[in-house]
Structure 1
Amino acid sequence: MTDSDLPSHRAVADELSLLGVAAEPAEVHGALSGFLCGGGRVQDHWLAQLELEAERAPAPDGALAALRAASVAQLEDPQFGFVLLLPDERDALDRRAEALLGWCRGFLGGFGLAAPSPDLLSEDAREALDDLGRIAGSRLSYEDAEGDEGALQEVTEFVRVAALLLHGDCVLGPQHRRRLN
């Protein structure tokens, strides 16, 4: 596993359970990603930064440490290699879809902890943030397994690109402007 490889959903779930964190892996990754995309800098005790209560700190060589390192590396990847931590494709569609909604809710919470005023965001970034809010608040129904599978893939890709857009607006843009000055 390289620094940019996410740990498995199961490994993150196991460590969260061990630490007594009452949040799903997708939601935690969403919160971490939102915090990073909003310009936050994660510390060793990043769960506390994200207002996630844990009975103790994550292991320095555990799944959560790997999640943190991979998330930072993926967001900085010039090839846009950012990936959402969601249940495996072999899991049931409804479980994966609910995890995506949880990821979006986590993202919005983490982003809100670190992001600048929405007035400072570009119009595209504000629109992406609004869309993530709509997705996070969605109610799902499953009527057409094949169509629903395709829709989930499309929405997942949209969420991934929206996160990258917000990261570009809040982190990469200001970094670029500082280098020019």
Structure 2
Amino acid sequence: MKNHWKLIIGMVLIVVVLAACGNSSDESQNGDSYSTEDTSNTDNYIDRTSNDENETMKEEYLQKLADINEEVEEIRRTYSNDSSTYAMKKVEGDRYDLWDGLLNEVYGVLQEQLSSDEMKQLRDEQRNWVTYRDDTAKDASLQYQGGTQERLEYVVVLADLTEERCYELVEDYMK
């Protein structure tokens, strides 16, 4: 019975840490959205219009990132009274699915926005990142090898890293 409580307390701590991580991501997206361009002549106006269209796409995806965070919080609230391993796996699995779906969507937009050279570089980087993500999740889960926490830890790390990658792609690559 003593180990059962340690497990529950450990999982509550993980959920709290993950929630805090999600909140820090929200803060980081509120950055540099102000333009200092001079719009007093027609040439600058045309350039600014082009930049505004790009900013609109980036802003749209920053909003999608925030929306996913809200959706994840709703999922957590739905299962807040259930501390079973099954419920925690469900929450984290759903969380991973949401972030992975958005990651694929963002990648598709970047394929349209980036030049072929930029896209080749991103494709290589993305392949390396997928290997890193999977290896990191596997390594983290091994601390619970053979236990009920093993799969949960694997999915938690997948979700965390995928969420981080979504923010990175939107903030650093999206035009």
Same fold (TM over 0.5): no
Q: Which one has a bigger Cα radius of gyration?
A: 2
Structure richer in helix, relative to its length? 2
